[in-house]
Structure 1
Amino acid sequence: IVGLESRGFIFGMPLAYNLHKPFVLVRKKGKLPCETIEQTYDLEYGSATIEMHKDSIKPGQKVVVVDDLIATGGTVAAAVKLIEKLGGTVEKCVFLMELAGLNGREKLEGYDVASVISYEGK
């Protein structure tokens, strides 16, 4: 289970614990203690960079990405790129809430995406 900073930790960690699976943190640049890989993505007014530990995903490992919200999809798309750089396979991206009017799913075309609540507005 891969959780995105920081509310993805709240949902992802108990899920990983109950499934007896490892939990991997994806954090903003400079927050993780060991050797990392990074991915930069665009924001509305600039860019941001996220990181994960280089040894957190093994080649061929199946991964579920968990976060509280998908809006534009930029953060989760960057996380998917990190996972795939390490050789992982993204099986599903799961969110508590989706702001469907912001079209975040478009950045995840070809991936299995699920949300518990979908709000059609922005």
Structure 2
Amino acid sequence: MNYSDFAIDPAMIISKELSKTDVVGNIILPKAQVRSVLTKMKDVTDSRLQSGIEVQVQDLVENDVYTVTLRCIDNAKYSFGAGWNAMKYSLDLKEDQVLKLYWDHLNTKFILLNLPYSLIMD
């Protein structure tokens, strides 16, 4: 699929400046942005999110796919759990970097946007 042929819906982007906690442990994702993305996810319920659901994150530049667990903690915080460590180390993510993910609802996966937008938006 060529993502340069599609307009990216800003409501489907999760963007987070990584804190020390995010790079040492599991990442806590912005609640409002995750809830916006959840509107386009199929078969996602509160109880499934408490247990955790596996989602894929694709890096188009390196052609890698990561599987991470999206979970709701305490009915208020969303995080990536299992799989996050492998992803953050592989991508060499550091504190103060901004992680940007786009929910591709047609292919039911996140697309990593941590690359120049000109590669996917011209």
Same fold (TM over 0.5): no
Which structure has more relative contact order (CA 8 Å, sep 6+)? It is: 2
TM-score band, normalised by shorter chain:
under 0.3
